[in-house]
Amino acid sequence: MRGADALVRALDKEGVEYISGFSGGGLAPLWEPLRVSGKIQAFATRHERIGVEVADGYARATGKVGVAMTGTGPGATNTLTGIAGAYADNVPVLLLMGQHPLGSMGREIQQEVPSSIFDNFVKWKGTMTRVEDIPGILRRAFTTLRSGSPGPVVLEMPQDVLSATAPDEALYYEPVGPGRRAAADPRDIERAAEILVNAQFPIMNVGGGVLWAEASEEARELAELLSMPVASTLVGKGAFPENHPLSLGGGVYPRSRFASGQAIHINRKADAVLAVGNSFRLPNATDGRPIPSHVKLIHINADPGDLNKIYQADVPILADAKLALRDLIDAVRDRMGPRRGGIKEAVVAEIAQARAKWLGEFTPAFTDQSAPTNGYRVIYDLMQVADPDRTIAIHDAGGSRGYLSPFWVATKPRNYIGMGGMAAMGWSMGAAIGAKLGRPDHLVFHLLGDASFGMTGMEVETAVRMGIPTLTIIVNNGGAGGALMTMDRPNMAPPSMSVLGGNFTLVARGLGAHAERVEQPGDLKPAFRRAIDATESGTAAVVEVMIKPMATPQLPEDWGL
């Protein structure tokens, strides 16, 4: 058997469905086994970076490993941004990197790029140096991808190793199965339970680790047991249902960007914080302000590098979120007894009052009748049209994140896909395609600005060509949002760096999508309905909305709450 045949068979056994990327040097040995594979579909994106971001979106939407491929040289360097984004947000993406033959490596031949370019952005990287190594490398790769805190893996595949042969028994492969999860130290669980039961106002923060551990039910059960308000990170949004009476939406302790008004209000009252599966990344997850001495912090994370990184925890717990929360629930119940616990009406009422006050401040923007409209009105009207239980919402970098993330109500795990660690412009184009591949029964929309669309918008053709009916919503303010509002200042970017142009509706039509441009706010809902109908009939859709440059929520102090 050839190494390439063994590789594809192993991927097949591990349940890989799609491999996205672009044809390039070093990948030729894979084409024959991929052609005969009955389960794996390989397809081209318009750029290698997007191939990785398709795999990223697929992984976030399904909880499975996303797989991408790239050739040598510039193909590999093009993927670095996508891999860095997956690494920053702890997403299990496997990148298959084609490479020159072993004998040619290190000789500075044309398009030679070593896999070491990924060293700072992967959970693990492996190089196939002998054909017999392939099963072992793949076992290690999938074990790494599925165990502990997720992250990307890069496999460097020299072309001569893929083309070499070995006896079938030497290349036999058995799937590694689900990932391995670490349980918490029982002493840590007891200490944490003692703090939570004795706290006057405990709160919970959930991050992406809750999603990857599939611990949403445990988070809900513990929150209801202790009547703990729950806030999420950008990456963890949806891990706790935001239509739940204890939900604070976004805004983890002590202060974070894009936080909701109710989170800001409740955080001021907390005397114990249970942070689960989040890393307190600066500046989005926290602005770095100190935690008051009277507030106890319990931090559960599967990655030891995230514990005590920004804040020293009173109880740091190295463990899988699901296993730790289950143990913590049992320990809390033991202390509370059978007749205590449950949701407190006073807590729910206080959250509801703060939420109403906060949303009230934004109501003028939500209902603004002037043209061009604003990004908040775009989201407000879309929420009236789409079914949140059957919709996956995805934001992009910059203004689109500020418009969408605080206000979209994520009702189920993985029905919202947020990125925050790297925030590459245009990321959502590939992520939406990957999410729709993994969850074809849901409406998948992504919101991005015209500057971001300019970087990756050709992927509309990928969605059209592959029959992946995503909904792209472009908020077009005629340039780079923040820069437009400051370009007249002598110390800021000038108009030549801020003002952009283009009619992207015409571009999208040329690429084969249903597309229309909206210039009046009253036309938003009808346009969204037509676009959703198009996706339901199997056609990718683009709605370009002309908006005015407008500030997005940045710091809680700006809201006057």
Question: Two tokens at 511?
Answer: 């690429």
Q: HSE (CB half, 13 Å, CA atoms) of 181?
A: 18
Q: 3-class SS at 287?
A: coil
Q: What are the distances in angstroms from CA 6 to CA 2, 123, 537, 541?
A: 6, 24, 39, 39
Residues sharing a CB contact under 8 Å with residue 66, sequence separation 6 or more, in sequence order? 18, 54, 55, 56, 57, 58, 59, 91, 92, 93, 94, 434
- CB atoms under 10 Å from CB of 87, counted, come to 20
Question: Two tokens at 361?
Answer: 């401040």
Cα torsion 398, 282, 317, 202: sign: negative
pLDDT at 257: 85
Which residue type does 413 have? Answer: P
CA 312, CA 555: separation in Å to the nearest integer?
24
Per-residue pLDDT of the chain (561 residues; tens, 9 = 90+): 999 999 999 999 999 999 999 999 899 999 999 999 989 999 999 999 999 999 999 999 999 999 999 999 999 999 999 999 999 999 999 999 999 998 877 777 878 899 999 999 999 999 999 999 999 999 999 999 999 999 999 999 999 999 999 999 999 999 999 999 999 999 999 999 999 999 999 999 999 999 999 999 999 999 999 999 999 999 999 999 999 999 999 999 998 888 999 999 999 999 999 999 999 988 888 888 999 999 999 999 999 999 999 999 999 999 999 999 999 999 999 999 876 789 999 999 999 999 999 999 999 999 999 999 999 999 999 999 999 999 999 999 988 999 999 999 999 999 999 998 898 999 999 999 999 999 999 999 999 999 999 999 999 999 999 999 999 999 999 988 778 888 888 898 898 888 999 999 999 999 999 999 999 999 999 999 999 999 999 999 999 999 998 877 654 454 444
* b/e map 20-55, b = 16+ CB within 10 Å: bbbbbbbbebbeebbeebeebebbbbbbbbbbbbbb
Three-state helix/strand/coil letters over 59-125: HHHHCCCEEEEECCCHHHHHHHHHHHHHHHCCCCEEEEEEECCHHHCCCCCCCCCCHHHHHHHCCEE
pLDDT at 24: 92
Which residue type does 56 have? Answer: D
Of residues 532, 503, 536, 502, the one with CA closest to residue 517: 503
pLDDT at 553: 65
Of residues 418, 20, 106, the one with CA closest to residue 235: 418
Which residue type does 22 have? Answer: F
pLDDT at 482: 78
Run of H or E including 160: helix 159-163
Q: HSE (CB half, 13 Å, CA atoms) of 303?
A: 21
Question: Two tokens at 315?
Answer: 């109880």
pLDDT at 110: 75
Q: 3-class SS at 177?
A: coil
